[in-house]
């Protein structure tokens, strides 16, 4: 639902709103993960903070936190801040680019990979690397159509599929390291100090502005560094080629006379 619920949800309403069963809502209450409802008459009523807390619990569980760890985190949060924390968490998880995944048929995916069937090693490797994701019913998600088009272009240059996947795997490995460096920078210098200070509401605009700036900055820095690295690698490769001894060619087309065997007199 898009509206912010007032404190008028019964426990059944809360279950429908969040997708959490009534049994689990009661269990979360007994563990102290949820504040008590507002009791009117004999009925307890829940509101926006209960909805936000339950959604936050679900997201933290999906991240691998057990309920004891979730409770410790929730206990450290100021009352009524679950919605703000949930919004910040979702902002951090938002896509870091504007590229939209593509949905392709099995035939299109096979053609792009130069594979004959999903049993081919190339196809299985592309799935393992996350370059394609089976969705069922003859549909596959391609998370990065740009990377997929680059593979098609490399194929047109005559580069075999296994070699293309070697390059794509190396790109994924290297860029993962760069991504970890930027995430660590953000966490160490901005996010963790913000959380340690109790996630003050007054600092939220600064954190969000830093996150918004970091997204394009990380991309710009990566692309710029790649350009520098590519230029340096090409120059090194050319120097290496110039330093190799040139072999004498026996071909008349090379413009050099072929060595002749001397005949005995």
- Please give the C-alpha separations between residue 76 and each of 147, 199, 256, in angstroms, as whole numbers: 43, 10, 82
CA-atom Rg of the chain in angstroms: 29
Question: Residue 107 and residue 170: Cα distance in Å, rounded?
Answer: 26
Q: With a cut of 60, say whether residue 249 has pLDDT above it.
A: no
pLDDT tens digits, residue range 24-39? 999 999 999 998 999 9
- pLDDT-derived band at 265 (thresholds 50, 70, 90) equals very low
What's the rounded Cα separation, in Å, for the pair 28 and 179?
35
Q: What is the mean pLDDT of residues 232-251?
A: 69
Q: What is the pLDDT of residue 120?
A: 92
Return the pLDDT at 6. Answer: 60
Higher pLDDT, 263 or 124: 124
pLDDT digits (tens, 9 = 90+) for 144-154: 888 888 888 88
Q: Over 70: is that where the pLDDT of 180 sits?
A: yes
Model pTM score: 0.60
- Using an 8 Å Cβ cutoff, are 57 and 33 in contact? yes
What is the pLDDT at residue 23? 94
Q: What is the pLDDT of residue 100?
A: 86
In sign, the C-alpha dihedral spanning 187, 190, 194, 196 is: positive
Higher-pLDDT residue of 251, 196: 196
**Beta strand pairing call for 43-45 and 140-142:** unpaired
Each residue's pLDDT tens digit, 251-260: 444 444 444 5
pLDDT digits (tens, 9 = 90+) for 67-124: 888 888 788 777 777 777 777 777 777 777 778 889 999 999 999 899 999 999 999 9
Closest Cα to residue 38, out of 49, 46, 26? 46
């Amino acid at each position: 639902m898009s509206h912010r619920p007032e404190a008028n949800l019964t426990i059944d309403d809360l279950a429908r709103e969040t997708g959490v069963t009534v049994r689990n809502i009661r269990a979360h209450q007994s563990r102290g993960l949820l504040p008590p409802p507002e009791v009117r008459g004999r009925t307890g009523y829940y509101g926006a903070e209960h909805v936000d807390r339950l959604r936050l619990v679900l997201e933290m569980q999906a991240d691998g936190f057990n309920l004891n760890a979730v409770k410790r985190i929730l206990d450290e949060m100021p009352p009524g801040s679950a919605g703000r924390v949930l919004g910040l968490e979702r902002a951090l998880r938002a896509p870091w680019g504007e590229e939209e995944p593509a949905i392709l048929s099995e035939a299109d995916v096979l053609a792009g990979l130069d594979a004959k069937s999903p049993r081919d090693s190339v196809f299985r490797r592309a799935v393992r690397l996350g370059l394609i994701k089976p969705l069922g019913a003859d549909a596959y998600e391609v998370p990065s159509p740009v990377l997929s088009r680059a593979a098609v272009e490399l194929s047109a240059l005559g580069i075999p599929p296994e070699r293309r996947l070697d390059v794509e795997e190396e790109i994924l490995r290297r860029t993962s390291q760069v991504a970890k460096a930027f995430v660590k920078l953000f966490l160490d210098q901005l996010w963790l100090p913000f959380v340690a200070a109790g996630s003050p509401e007054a600092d939220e605009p600064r954190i969000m502005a830093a996150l918004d700036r970091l997204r394009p900055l990380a991309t710009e820095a990566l692309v710029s560094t790649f350009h520098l690295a590519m230029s340096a690698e090409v120059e090194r490769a050319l120097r290496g080629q110039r330093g190799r001894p040139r072999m004498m060619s026996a071909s008349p087309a090379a413009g050099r006379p072929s060595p002749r065997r001397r005949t005995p007199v």
